[in-house]
Chains A and B, each alone.
Chain A
Amino acid sequence: MKCCGRIYVVVAGLLLFASSGEAEQVSLSSETILRGFQRDRNDRSKADAAPVYEYLQLNYITKKVPGLSLHLNGWGRLNLADDYNRGTTDGRLLHAYLQYAPPKQTYQLRAGRQYIFEGVARDNIDGIYGKVLALPGTTVSAYAGLPTMLDNASGVKGDLIYGGKLTYAVPGRYDAGFSYKHILDNRAAREHVLGGDLAVNLPKSIYLLGHSTYDLISSSWGEHSYEMRLPLGPVTFQPFLQRFRYTSYFSNRRNSVPPFRFLEGSGNTLTTAGTDLFWYPSDQTEIVLRFKNYDYQNRFKPSQYYSLIATRRWKILSEVGTEISRMQGSEAENRYLLTRAYVYWKFAPGFVTGDVTYVHYDRTIYGKSSSLFASVGLGTGFLNDTLNVKTSFDYSNDPYFKADYRFMVKLNYLFEKNFDLPSTMNSNTFRESIK
């Protein structure tokens, strides 16, 4: 909760600063969520839980230095009734970074807490990041800092993450990238990975896309994942092939997480292969099929997954959808049939939603052979849609919860102010979050 307190202080300061005429654009998004449900305590007594969550996000662009912006995002929780989860309060600063991306320049720099998505990197760091279009078609990026996802294990002493990516692209033909990542946990190597990714456009709108990772610690390949797009008349096939070698993909090194740490020693290899199929009989209708086969080197026999999804939109922001999926594991305990139907109906400024999911398990779990989940929701917008109120009421009857009722009230508030110049940053996410 401390982090959210800090965010509020920074936000208040920046808003004051903005009002002094130093800001070009300020965007503030607040999501307040109140949940209500009953929970079972260890002594089998019942307790009413009412956690309230606050998600706060701020983007600030100064006009003094074109291209300089500040971005903050964090969440906090306070239990209003029974203590739920880890203590009365919790929270986290998800990102807080300064970005410098000068207009009409070919580089970008960031400093602070941020996410890195670069080839083999999908990490949250406290550090620096830079990306530059060095030569025509060639992009280089690099980052270094503390890996924040390790900081509750043994402190941050001796922790370090660094890496980078080199990409070469010939637009319309292909692009290829080589990436590198090294994570040290308490001075010991936690991850040391090389990665390659490739996208190739072939004639007739066919493409090949994929990536591979090589684990430098175990000196073996960890993952190969590739997919193609094959348009065939009115339908498009998207076949895929993936191979994971558990010895390299998982680890049992320091701070490794159960249950995955035990998989490293299984010596197993998982190969998945299958295809997605997309068919659009009209602009409003989407039909998707998925088949996926799971094959293992050890322990399990092959399993299959089949899914059919159909969606029909009758106007913007209004649609109905249905799904039927079957997980056909080699053993009865690994088989289920899932059916789902939902509706989202927008009638400005309000909306109504409905959602029902029923799952049948081939082998009973805690004496039950099925799960039923149902949810109805409604909401409306005020003040030109900058303030939204949403509610949902949920019911679940499943192996873990017997006739469980829950509710949620969500308040979204969006403040956006452009002081001078046209917008140079995006705010789609804000809009997206309040819709």
Chain B
Amino acid sequence: MKVFGAAALIFILALLVACTAGNSYLMPASHPKIYELGERREFCTKCHGFKKEPIDFERYNHTALFTDNHRMVAYQEDRVCTLCHEQSFCSDCHGRVELKPSLKDQTKNFSRMQHRGDYLTRHRIDGRIDPTSCFRCHGTPRSSGTCQPCHGNPR
């Protein structure tokens, strides 16, 4: 039954591919390289202004808190993210990796990555206050590898 469900999804997708209309806004494959435009902190509105069409660019401004808040816009339309970021950029934090992102890019200190410094101690408090934010990235057997030495294995 489950396989049938998956097959049905694939069939529907194939049908939709066949019916593609192609008369709506087509997002480009990629954004020009940010660094070659002379920018680093990516504020889309610097170039695109505050237009709402075809994309509400202000929503994607990389503010100091964008790392904390980006999941909402990524859930909604990941194609905007992929204009500039490849999947490897996501997997530095979300993939099954040993090095926490702030360690992998220790000198990239302007990025305000999660867990910088002594997070081993802070996570005791942050985890008690809001375990949902831990769970989003450490909630599977694979992704909880760094938790298991102290907290135990999945069962």
Contact = CB atoms under 8 A, between A and B. Distances in A.
Indicate, yes or no, whether A interacts with B. yes
B24 A359 contact: no
Interface centre among B20, B33, B76, by most chain A C-beta atoms within 10 angstroms, is: B76
Contacts of A150: 140-142
A257 B87 contact: no
B20 A107 contact: yes
A232 interface: no
10 contacts: A106-B22, A119-B75, A152-B141, A173-B52, A177-B76, A260-B135, A303-B129, A361-B121, A400-B118, A426-B86
Given A33-B104, A73-B91, A115-B87, 11 more contacts: A86-B145, A94-B91, A184-B2, A209-B59, A258-B154, A260-B135, A286-B63, A329-B125, A353-B109, A357-B117, A431-B34
B26 A207 contact: no
Contact of A334 (B31, B33, B129, B139): B129
Contacts of B90: 115, 117
Contact of A257 (B17, B65, B140): B140
A160 B6 contact: yes
Interface in A315-359: 316-317, 319, 321, 327, 329, 333-336, 338, 340, 342, 344, 351, 353-355, 357, 359
A134 B16 contact: yes
Contacts of A163: 9
Closest 7 CB pairs of A and B: A426-B30, A373-B117, A377-B107, A149-B140, A357-B117, A172-B53, A149-B142
A423 B30 contact: yes
Contact of B84 (A57, A137, A428): A428
Interface SS of A by simple majority: strand
B30 A373 contact: no
Nearest to A130: B13
A229 B60 CA distance: 12
Contacts of B6: 144, 160, 162
A144 B2 CA distance: 11
Contacts of B135: 249-250, 260
Interface in B118-153: 118, 120-122, 124-132, 134-136, 138-145, 147, 151-153
Interface in A213-269: 223, 225, 227, 229, 238, 244, 249-250, 254-261, 263
Contacts of B128: 300, 329, 334
A1 to B, nearest CB: 12
Interface in B54-92: 54-56, 58-59, 63-65, 69, 71-79, 81-91
A142 B76 contact: no
A134 B13 CA distance: 9
Contact of A390 (B64, B81, B107): B107
Contacts of A59: 86
Nearest to B9: A142
A251 B69 CA distance: 24
B100 interface: no
A300 B129 CA distance: 9
Contacts of B153: 258
B39 A140 contact: no
A75 interface: yes
Contact of A278 (B63, B98, B130): B63
A257 B131 contact: no
Given A201-B56, A429-B85, A371 B98 contact: no
Contact of B52 (A75, A160, A171, A351): A171
